Amino acid sequence: MTTQQHPEAVLKDGVYYHEFDIVIVGAGGAGMRAAIEAGPGARTAVITKLYPTRSHTGAAQGGMAAALANVEEDSWEWHTFDTVKGGDYLVDQDAAEILAREAIDAVIDLENMGLPFNRTPEGKIDQRRFGGHTADHGKTPVRRACYAADRTGHMILQTLFQNCVKLGINFFNEYYALDLITVKDADGNTQVAGVVAYELATGDLHVFHSKAVIFATGGFGKIYKTTSNAHTLTGDGVGIVWRKGLPLEDIEFFQFHPTGLAGLGILLTEGARGEGAILRNASGERFMERYAPTIKDLAPRDIVARCMVKEVLEGRGAGPHKDYVYLDCTHLGAEVLETKLPDITEFARTYLGVDPVTEPVPVMPTAHYAMGGIPTTNNGEVLQNNDTVVPGLYAAGECACVSVHGANRLGTNSLLDINVFGKRSGRNAVEYVQTADFVPLPEDPAKEVREMLEGLRSNTGTERIAVLRKKLQEEMDANAQVFRTEETLTNVMGTIHDLRQRFKNVHIDDKGKRFNTDLLEAVELGFLLDLAEIVAYAARNRRESRGGHMREDYPDRNDEQYMQHTMAYLTGDPHSPDPEDHIKLDWKPVVFTKNDKGELNYPPMERKY
């Protein structure tokens, strides 16, 4: 039978069944860019636990990289070099070339969709400097970031949503995807049959039967306490794929953005330093001149974050507790701050009571971006091992690992990533569904989700979700943040095991079904515990320092042993005390490209700036 509330659905045994060619999970930049590509060629649905324009893409401030050369000489080869070098050579170089080559069309696509970029006096898209982006292979900073004030992500999100509406894309807003429906074929290979989602407004379960699924669910920064990530970034899509026995790639690499508001983590865009803002210690010294004399404050984020923490640890921090440094924007003037950086100016005034026009802003690194995630090909196809894809399963954006960011993502490459690889995943999903058949659903596809939710609702334990989440985040901040050691990572894994045991006894006060945020946060905590453990375990296994992963006990990069991607697999009961009992770690080669002479285009070298 069909229902008035869901006219396209069939109600069976209390579960709504929908049928689409392609189901996209997530309505941020990657999800909606995929939808724009997929919608005209296939019946497409977008499932999102937030209203689309509340997605975290809207928090991205600074810009989107593309070698347009509108302001200064530039080339996509230089952009590729910066991406590879910035990622500390763990970047798959074929993916980096795709990113840099297709960046120009990606920006023009958005311009044609109506995005209001800042303009030069000649009417071209304006561009500004950003960390790690250089001309002529590192010789000098270059203006490569296309921007819309300091609201670039917000503008992209609004523009993509308006174009999705124009195309008539089917949105299922405030539907929380909780399971990927998979079946095994005769040879034991994974096949995709759809998604199970929980409708927040009613508590109803929905089965979306589809030929293809695209995950675009964003990151998982809420494993940390100090983070620029929104409360909803709990790694749902990454966690779902992990629980299905599919691998995660380079999960130990997490980026800590240098300029979060001290004590809060709210982001101040790198665009501020691109406009000329300067990092200073308590004595007013521009300390980045000592660490990166060529590009100073615009070194890659991992380098700047470590330098800031080092300044504090060595006693040069500012404030009553000497636990932060300053971002000095005062010399930029009110006009630049109010016109090109209005949001961060307001953030500093609102949250710290500091006016950037007249006084420096206290800042410290904040957990910002996951370089690792669901492993994919350059076409967005999800891998089930190093070289075999799951037919019909795709991923794009921060939840995916192409790997185009390697060990450290360059600023402005994230907004570029979601557009280039969101487009590619949508386009390739359409090609796939044109010849693919629906995989038959299992007898009760919503069974596991139903049992999980009812188990949480009916639990009579005494543990509180907020207490467990706070403990997890504080321990991750203390033991697995900018600097890590064998001891700190082992300690946090022990804490996570204890929290898993306590999680079995959580108490949900709200037993209802409508907008049950108590239940929602319990589910999210389960994903956070899974992902925090993998981050710590993979980080302990990588006994070197590279990009966003800094081991104080192994301070050097070790190309001979670790110039390869980490691949993590779930192999047993995650509640077992020893991660070795349920996590298997393997390796995957990094892709290097060569020129006509057979020489490496981008050979690993020392990262001097």
Active site members: 301
Residue 55 marked as a ligand binder:
yes
Question: What's the token pair of residue 443?
Answer: 């007898």
Residue 368 marked as a ligand binder:
yes
The beta strands (E) that lie in 185-291 are given as 190-199, 205-215, 248-249, 254-261, 278-280
Query: Quick one: how far is CA 437 from the chain centroid?
Result: 32
Residue 41 marked as a ligand binder:
no
Residue 51 marked as a ligand binder:
yes
C-alpha–C-alpha distance, residues 368 and 266, integer Å = 10
Say how many C-beta atoms besides its own lie within 10 A of residue 54's C-beta: 17
Residue 57 marked as a ligand binder:
yes
The beta strands (E) that lie in 44-168 are given as 44-48, 64-65, 127-135, 140-146
Residue 90 marked as a ligand binder:
no
Residue 27 marked as a ligand binder:
yes
Kind and range of the H or E run holding 283: none
Q: State the alpha helices, DSSP H only, in 90-183.
A: 93-113, 152-167
Say how many C-beta atoms besides its own lie within 10 A of residue 379's C-beta: 17
Residue 458 marked as a ligand binder:
no
Residue 414 marked as a ligand binder:
yes
Pick the closest to residue 287 from 307, 263, 312 (CA basis): 307
Residue 60 marked as a ligand binder:
yes
Spatial neighbors of 118 by CB under 8 A, at least 6 apart, are 125, 126, 147, 148, 149, 340
Residue 269 marked as a ligand binder:
yes
C-alpha–C-alpha distance, residues 176 and 262, integer Å = 32
Residue 63 marked as a ligand binder:
yes
Residue 86 marked as a ligand binder:
no
Helix axes 447-458 and 517-541, enclosed angle (nearest 10): 110
Residue 330 marked as a ligand binder:
no
C-alpha–C-alpha distance, residues 156 and 109, integer Å = 11
C-alpha–C-alpha distance, residues 194 and 69, integer Å = 43
3-state SS assignment for residue 530: helix
Residue 39 marked as a ligand binder:
no
Question: What's the token pair of residue 238?
Answer: 């990454």
Residue 575 marked as a ligand binder:
no
Helix axes 517-541 and 465-479, enclosed angle (nearest 10): 20
Residue 87 marked as a ligand binder:
no
Residue 448 marked as a ligand binder:
no
Residue 194 marked as a ligand binder:
no
C-alpha–C-alpha distance, residues 379 and 92, integer Å = 13
Residue 473 marked as a ligand binder:
no
Query: Quick one: how far is CA 404 from the chain centroid?
Result: 12
Binding site for substrate, residues? 257, 269, 368, 409
Binding site, residues? 26-31, 48-63, 236, 257, 269, 368, 398, 409, 414-415
Binding site for FAD, residues? 26-31, 48-63, 236, 398, 414-415
